[in-house]
Structure 1
Amino acid sequence: MKRVCQLLSLALLLVLTQKSYALACKKNGTQATDAIMINTSIAVPNSLPKDTVLWRSDNYSISMTCWQDNGGYGAESVYFYLSPRDPGLTQLGPDLEVGIHLNGTDLRCTQLAQCRVQLPIHFSGCYVTGGCKDKAQTFPLNFNFFVSKRSPPRPGKEGALTAVPTYPAFQLDGVGGMNNAPDSNFVMVLIGLNKLRYVACSSVLSISPKTVDFGSITSTGAQTNKMIKEVPFSITATKSCNSAYGLNAVLTPVAATAADGYTLVPNNNTSVGISLLKQPSRTAIPFNKEFTLVEYSPDPMVVNNFLAQLKWRTNKAILGKFNATATIDVFYK
């Protein structure tokens, strides 16, 4: 009787172990791995607080196909696992964390139960030997990577944040856990994390004037793409040390949209648009996309001059006030 119980327990263990691997997920239905590279150096001031985003990738959209690849399993959902090959979150060291922006939210493994998020992809069950690939579901996965500072401010630290160049960032799998067998489930890898380094001090930005006021304008002669007025302003970056680094920035519209990526359109008056031009080149500055604000330099103060250019977007003006705002996120290089 005791022998039968042992065999029964072993059979149950085998079933439960197999259930962890009841889903297969591949990019474009066949691809099990892909990689994205950080192709720039990133400087990190010691004074930055915990969870500060140090770098963010472009937005990506990939096509994923998932199916239940073994028979004998009931209903199951697809899960998005962060840091799938780093269960203790120790590989990158104490100062760095890789996160994912998914469905409008920044996700960090340290802030999630079991480092995972359930996706709205569900399977009703598979009871056919060899799996149910004929019931596969294909769906878009929209995301971007970000790298954030995991540690609080720690003065005096210099050099690389991590020596690890390559890091598996996420994997799709079922509720039972992750299948680590080669080519089983899609894994996205991030390359270039060893390009992040600490620098001795941070920069302070000041904008003058803080508000660009176009004053009163007349609606007479409104014509699409006609320039109405230009107002100069400047952004000054100052630092208290001679560490050499540059600053990149991302402008994000508030109470406005960026119609063509370069024109800020107020929500309360869509007949006008505002472009920002870098002087003296008159190069247009993008919104929602990283651009160079301060070139790599040891200089303690750098002043950049800009023009805010107001244009008509229509031949018929909308009378009344308009206002728009853009926040600026700064990335050290």
Structure 2
Amino acid sequence: MKSTFENTLKLLALLLAMCWSQVALSMTCSTALGGSTEVLNMGAIKVTPAQVRAGAEIWRSATISRQFMCSERPNSLNEDTLKAFFFLDPISTVSGLDRSLEVGVTYLGRNTKASHGSRINLGTAVNCTPFCEPGSTMTGYNRYYALPISVSFQVYVKLTGITPPGSGKIANPGTLTVLRLAGGNDTFGNLPASNFATTLSGLNTVSFTSCQPTITVTGNSGATVGFGSISQKNAVLNKIEKQVPFSVNVNMSSVDNGQACPGATMQAAFSTTYTVRDQTTILPASNSGFGIVLARATAPTVPIVMNRIVDLGLVNGSVVQNRFTAGLKWLSTTPRVGPFTASATVDITFK
């Protein structure tokens, strides 16, 4: 009888250990700053056929900032166990979106497509002492405590270049779960439901219009902005040495390609393949000692942030000229001498 009782206790202890192991596999996180779910809605977006090319961005959220406190008691350690991750498209809602659109996340300046199975590493969220080496057999003696982890990110929607639906409308995909926060030992399909998530809706309001204006850039040398000769002796740290005007011209006068433009809100977003400092300063080279800063002509001292949408106002005419400046900014008192080039791309969108 005693043996049976002892066996029952052993079995009960084993079952409890198994239950504890399952709980220990999930990292649970509370939101110390902001809500536990970020609910995004795109609003109405008009896309012209001229924009339908791979990589054209049609929408970007404001920057979302959160601070998390996470806890976990793992049974074993690997290099990712105590790290937090954004699990992208965790319940495969984004994967059902029309293939003409791509939804993704920008974190630390890098764009990552929200595809099921992808993760973004947010860094260490739980600290450990004293047996914390991966593979340690002494983890049962460890203490774990939360490290505040702060993140800032954006959600974007791009065109893939694949032909959109013939109706010009995106079939209603409902609400997409773009990401969910979880730990390195967590797995897709078994993520803690209480952890922070970001959802996106409104993609059914994306419409592909017949607004196809002719867009040109006019500088002081054709489509180029030239600064002429500038003396190295003028270099004063952070000073804007010279500003040169240029304009982005949008011609909607053609009957065939501009009919849907008037009444829409025009937006612009500048980007570049060159290195960018402080999100605003384009570097011709990493050691150039100077950079190029873009600004609206109406606010020449306010630099334009790369990859951030700038509202240009309602379209109420057939030809719209948007004026900007390109400024040369000293980043060193001993800049490199010689000719230089740098470039930026402007994407014009309508909504």
Please say whether Structure 1 and Structure 2 have the same fold, judged by a TM-score greater than 0.5. yes
Aligned to 1:172: 181
Q: Distance in 1 between matches of 2:294 and 2:158?
A: 29
Q: Is the 8 A contact 2:274 2:282 kept in 1?
A: no
Q: Which residue of 1 aligns with 2:258?
A: 241
Q: Which has the higher strand share?
A: 1
TM-score (norm 2): 0.66
Give the CA deviation at 1:35. 0.9
Per the alignment, in what secondary structure is the counterpart of residue 95 of structure 2? coil
Measure, in 2, the Cα distance between the counterparts of 1:88 and 1:117: 16
Partner of 2:4: none
User: Structure 1-normalised TM-score?
Assistant: 0.68
> Identity over the aligned pairs, expressed in percent?
23
User: What corresponds to 2:321 in structure 1?
Assistant: 303
Residue 148 to residue 142, structure 1, CA distance change in 2 (3 Å): same
* Contact 2:94–2:103 (CA under 8 A) maintained in structure 1: no
Equivalent residue in structure 2 for 1:83, among 71, 89, 93: 89
The reply on whether 1:205 has 2:215 as its aligned counterpart is yes
Deviations 1:120-177 (A, max 9, x none): 658868977xxx884445434443211233671137433456363x432211333443
Whichever residue aligns with residue 167 of structure 2, its letter is K
Offset of residue 232 of structure 1: 3.2
1:217 matched to 2:234? no
Tell me the distance in 1 between the aligned counterparts of 2:313 and 2:57: 20
Q: CA RMSD in A?
A: 4.5
Cα deviation 1:267-310 (Å, max 9, x = unaligned): 4543x564445446757451325243643326554222334345
Q: SS of the residue aligned with 1:325?
A: coil
Give the whole-Å Cα distance in 1 for the aligned partners of 2:118 and 2:240.
Answer: 51
Structure 1 residue 243: Cα displacement: 1.1
Per-residue CA distance 1:28-79 (angstroms, 9 max, x = gap): 469882215356642223461456432223444533333325x7x3336355
- Paired with 1:321 and 1:136, the residues of 2 have a C-alpha distance of 52
- Aligned residue for 1:75, secondary structure, equals coil
Counterparts of 2:239 and 2:320, CA distance in 1: 33
In 2, Cα distance between equivalents of 1:127 and 1:319: 58
Change (3 A) 1:15 1:94: farther
Distance 1:230 1:51 in 2: 30
Aligned pairs for 1:136-155 within 5 A:
136-149=146-159, 152-154=162-164
CA contact (8 A) 2:93 2:176 kept: no
- Partner residue of 2:76? 74
Contact 2:33 2:67 in 1 (8 A): no
Q: Displacement, 1:100?
A: 1.6
Q: Distance in 2 between matches of 1:101 and 1:29?
A: 22
CA distance in structure 2 between the aligned counterparts of 1:87 and 1:146, rounded to whole angstroms: 16
Distance in 1 between residues matched to 2:147 and 2:237, nearest whole Å? 46
Secondary structure of residue in 1 paired with 2:260: coil
CA 1:170/1:41 → structure 2, altered by over 3 Å: closer, same or farther?
Answer: same
Distance 1:313 1:187, change over 3 A: closer
In structure 2, relative to structure 1, the CA distance for the partners of 1:50 and 1:19 (3 Å cut) is farther
Change (3 A) 1:203 1:257: same
Q: What letter matches 1:286 in structure 2?
A: I
| Deviation of the 1:332 alpha carbon | 3.5
Which whole-Å CA distance do the structure 1 matches of 2:156 and 2:31 have between them?
Answer: 24
Unaligned segments of structure 1, at least 5 residues: 1-7
Task: Give, in whole Å, the separation in 1 of the partners of 2:234 and 2:160.
Answer: 55
Matches within 5 A, 1:1-333: 19=22, 22-28=25-31, 33-38=36-41, 41-46=44-49, 48-49=52-53, 52-68=56-72, 73-75=75-77, 77=81, 78-86=84-92, 89-90=95-96, 92=97, 95-102=100-107, 105-110=110-115, 114-116=117-119, 121=124, 134-149=144-159, 152-154=162-164, 156-159=166-169, 162=172, 164=174, 166-173=175-182, 174-179=185-190, 182-183=193-194, 185-190=195-200, 192-208=202-218, 209-218=222-231, 229-238=242-251, 240-244=257-261, 245-252=264-271, 255=274, 257-258=276-277, 266-267=284-285, 269-270=288-289, 274-279=292-297, 284-288=302-306, 290-292=308-310, 294-297=312-315, 299-310=317-328, 319-333=337-351
Distance 1:52 1:40, change over 3 A: same
CA distance in 2, matches of 1:257, 1:105: 13
C-alpha separation in 1, matches of 2:173 and 2:54: 20
Aligned CA distance change for structure 1 residues 41 and 32 (closer, same or farther; 3 Å): closer
User: Compared with structure 1, are the counterparts of its residues 86 and 298 closer, same or farther at alpha carbon in structure 2 (3 Å cutoff)?
Assistant: farther
**1:205/1:235 contact within 8 Å kept:** yes
Which stretches in structure 2 are left out of the alignment for 5+ residues? 1-10, 127-131
The 10-residue stretch of structure 1 (242-251 or 45-54) with the greater mean CA deviation from structure 2 = 45-54
